[in-house]
Structure 1
């Protein structure tokens, strides 16, 4: 689970769920983008700090691979977009469906690589326990962040709370798996330490989707209550 805690926030899932509820989408986008860039540096350092010594690790090689894997494609995409922006707005390619398919392929291939490894040494009972722990941990963190952002002296709006609940508890699989493969390329138990992240990502999407109606109902009622409290009271006629 330490590997999950070291991972950066996701690029899309938290934003999509925040938008579905009607929360602060701008804050969610900023958190996802900024957190992903920070993760290129912070995540490897945290992994080395919690999971092993960094004395013999070639930092230059690791960061250069991460830069080529994560940053360069993003920069190229932004440059290309400037020249084909009008065409994209006219044609509107199904990038959402394409990204979902690619993400599904990443999850599927990673699952196959992980559980096809004969050295994984993970029985069914242990896997069930891991799933239970991950769901429990994620629900607990979502509840704690909700309590924190809705405390009496909090300055966060209900829309901010929605973004906080989703963005602070979600972790990126698309960035996390490449980072683990680069940082622990020669580690024989790489498949084993990837399992919690493989389970956490679908779990966060499933839990988030199930909680969307409940959180949306709370946000709407909370916004109405705040609006009523801010309205000036009518003077009492004598």
Structure 2
């Protein structure tokens, strides 16, 4: 009995982030008003700006300037991630929604939401944290998150215009200012502190765990808003279809991205880890403001936003489940190359 309890504690300790995700979702369902927009935690500021800024500040402390500047030369990796994110995923989603899902009885506004998700830029937090947790190329993940976020300010609205016919356009000036405040400035400050050795004791702080804890806060506030979204009624079948489609599509995109990058034989194992997460994840932080501008006042706003609200935590859940096997794959792949005769 004692051995079983000890084994259970060890299992929980190894997978504390996944346990934390489940607990955050459960608490969000029990007390959604605490972490919802307008609640006492003020997630419209703390989750959207402060938390994202903390994650990029930690990334700056964790990186050497040489690593970040060195990854700029890895243009093939960056092209792969951005083309997969802004090109392949939207095209596949439009084809599937038009030719397959529409004939399965899925709500047309949820399908529009699925297409909307596919046009979103890569995230500014989850892909970096997961890449770092596995031991992948964190510098490449940071670079592509920053690059994808800025490209998304321009590409995402035009993609929505192309695929959905929306006439609304995103305020690029406001978005660039917000990105600078939450991404660029914290990252540069962290890099500067590391580069000039202003902070010399940060290595004693578990930066990866701090970043994952901040991400748990973002997950909690995300689900709080999701559980309180009742703009337009949705039946249980619509929600079930949405969750099922999002999960299956993410698994398919993860599988495709991983094997494409692996079979191209152009990237290291650490690069493939970063590619897999960065090219398949979508940003809730940037996505929600884009949707609010494009579809503000729509009676079907909840259906449009539902896929994004499902996609964000699902990508973190699937990513957290992949951390352990990815670590094992990265270790064996690196060891095989290292000890190859």
Do the two structures share a fold, i.e. TM-score over 0.5? yes
Q: Report the equivalent of 2:312.
A: 201
Question: For each residue in 1:179-238, what CA deviation from the matched residue of structure 2 results, as whole angstroms up to 9, or x when unmatched?
Answer: 110122233322211000000100010111111111111111112222333x3xxxxxxx
The answer to whether the Cα contact below 8 Å between 2:122 and 2:148 also exists between their aligned partners in 1 is yes
Q: Report the equivalent of 1:146.
A: 258
Q: Report the equivalent of 1:170.
A: 281
Query: Which of 125, 145, 152 pairs up with 1:39?
Result: 152
Provide the C-alpha distance between the structure 2 equivalents of 1:9 and 1:48, rounded to a whole number of angstroms.
19
Q: Report the equivalent of 1:183.
A: 294
Residue 192 and residue 79 in structure 1: after superposition, are their counterparts in 2 closer, same or farther (change >3 A)?
Answer: same
The answer to whether the Cα contact below 8 Å between 2:124 and 2:183 also exists between their aligned partners in 1 is no
Structure 2, gaps ≥5 residues long? 1-113
Q: Report the equivalent of 1:62.
A: 171
Shift of 1:97: 7.7
Query: Which of 150, 161, 171 pairs up with 2:272?
Result: 161
Question: What value does the CA root-mean-square deviation take over the aligned residues?
Answer: 3.1
Q: Which has the larger radius of gyration?
A: 1
Counterparts of 1:69-218 in structure 2 under 5 Å? 69-71=178-180, 74=183, 89=199, 96=211, 99-100=214-215, 103-104=218-219, 106-112=221-227, 114=229, 116-117=230-231, 119=232, 121-151=233-263, 153-218=264-329
The residue matched to 1:11 in structure 2 has which SS?
coil
Shift of 1:145: 0.9
Residue 113 and residue 52 in structure 1: after superposition, are their counterparts in 2 closer, same or farther (change >3 A)?
Answer: farther
Provide the C-alpha distance between the structure 2 equivalents of 1:142 and 1:78, rounded to a whole number of angstroms.
27
Residue 49 and residue 213 in structure 1: after superposition, are their counterparts in 2 closer, same or farther (change >3 A)?
Answer: same
Q: Report the equivalent of 1:49.
A: 162
Structure 1, gaps ≥5 residues long? 232-238
Provide the C-alpha distance between the structure 1 equivalents of 2:186 and 2:133, rounded to a whole number of angstroms.
26
Shift of 1:89: 4.2
Q: Which has the higher contact order (CA 8 A, sep 6+)?
A: 1
**Matched residue pairs, number?**
221
Q: Report the equivalent of 2:137.
A: 24
The answer to whether the Cα contact below 8 Å between 1:106 and 1:174 also exists between their aligned partners in 2 is no
Residue 130 and residue 39 in structure 1: after superposition, are their counterparts in 2 closer, same or farther (change >3 A)?
Answer: same
Shift of 1:175: 1.0
The answer to whether the Cα contact below 8 Å between 1:113 and 1:191 also exists between their aligned partners in 2 is no
The residue matched to 1:213 in structure 2 has which SS?
helix
Residue 75 and residue 211 in structure 1: after superposition, are their counterparts in 2 closer, same or farther (change >3 A)?
Answer: closer
Q: Is 1:9–2:122 an aligned residue pair?
A: yes
The answer to whether the Cα contact below 8 Å between 2:166 and 2:294 also exists between their aligned partners in 1 is no
Q: Report the equivalent of 2:330.
A: 219
The residue matched to 1:180 in structure 2 has which SS?
helix
The normalised TM-score by structure 1 is: 0.79
Residue 69 and residue 110 in structure 1: after superposition, are their counterparts in 2 closer, same or farther (change >3 A)?
Answer: farther
Shift of 1:81: 7.8
Provide the C-alpha distance between the structure 1 equivalents of 2:175 and 2:156, rounded to a whole number of angstroms.
11
